[in-house]
Amino acid sequence: MPILGCTLPGIGRVKTTMSDQKTTIGINKVVSLEEASNEMVLREPLFSKGLYHWVMFILSLYTRVREKLNMDYESFVILQVAVSHSLYEINKSGNKTFAELEEQMAKITQKKSIKTSKLTFASIAEVLQLPRETVRRKVISLSKKDILTFSSYGGIKLGPFYKSIYKDFVSQTTLDLSSLIKKWEKTGALKTLLELDK
């Protein structure tokens, strides 16, 4: 309690020791904007880089379909339906290695010992939501190149030339996919994708 008549100390410009210490920042507590930014980059999922690598994979695939297979993308997708149909039948007897699958595909294209259910224009049209006439026209075009075959009793099947596509095109696509996954792993995008359901 101040005594009446005494002079109180002036506060003015002089700060107490406590307030001086409160406003002093040690050098070890200063974080640069660059460091903070780098830490944020490490913590955040790198979606844009992962998406970029995916888009480049798709563009490369599209270009190889046009240049190496000499077909439009719609025909390529129709071919993939025929491939998936064959794979479904082959996988009934268990998983296969790349070489074993090549052998099984060769048997299908040579019409040997692989019994498959019938694949029709209508079933491909339904799967891809394409007009039936478009599918018929594209299958006929692919059959002229021996990539597919079709008949009223056997349906649509892989043709003799698919063996070459499997050996070269599928092999290169597998390598490209491996490269894509490695890039995703390096950037952290793969970990993010694997944890999406968590």
In CATH, what is the architecture of 47-193? Orthogonal Bundle (1.10)
**Dihedral (Cα; 135, 138, 140, 143), 10-degree rounding:** -120
pLDDT at 70: 93
Element (H, E) at 155: strand 155-158
State the burial class of residue 120 (Cβ atoms within 10 Å of its Cβ: 0-12, 13-18, 19+).
middle
CA distance 82 to 101: 15
Residues 153, 96: contact at Cβ < 8 Å? Answer: no
Considering only 10-19, 73-82, 106-115, which range has the smallest mean pLDDT? 10-19
pLDDT at 76: 96
Look at residue 27 and tell me whether its pLDDT is greater than 90.
no
Percent of the chain with pLDDT over 70: 73
Q: What are 118-128's pLDDT values in tens digits?
A: 899 999 999 99
Q: Give me the residues paired with residue 21 across strands.
A: none
pLDDT at 111: 66
Q: What are 100-112's pLDDT values in tens digits?
A: 988 888 787 776 5
The pTM of the full predicted model, rounded to 2 decimals, is 0.71
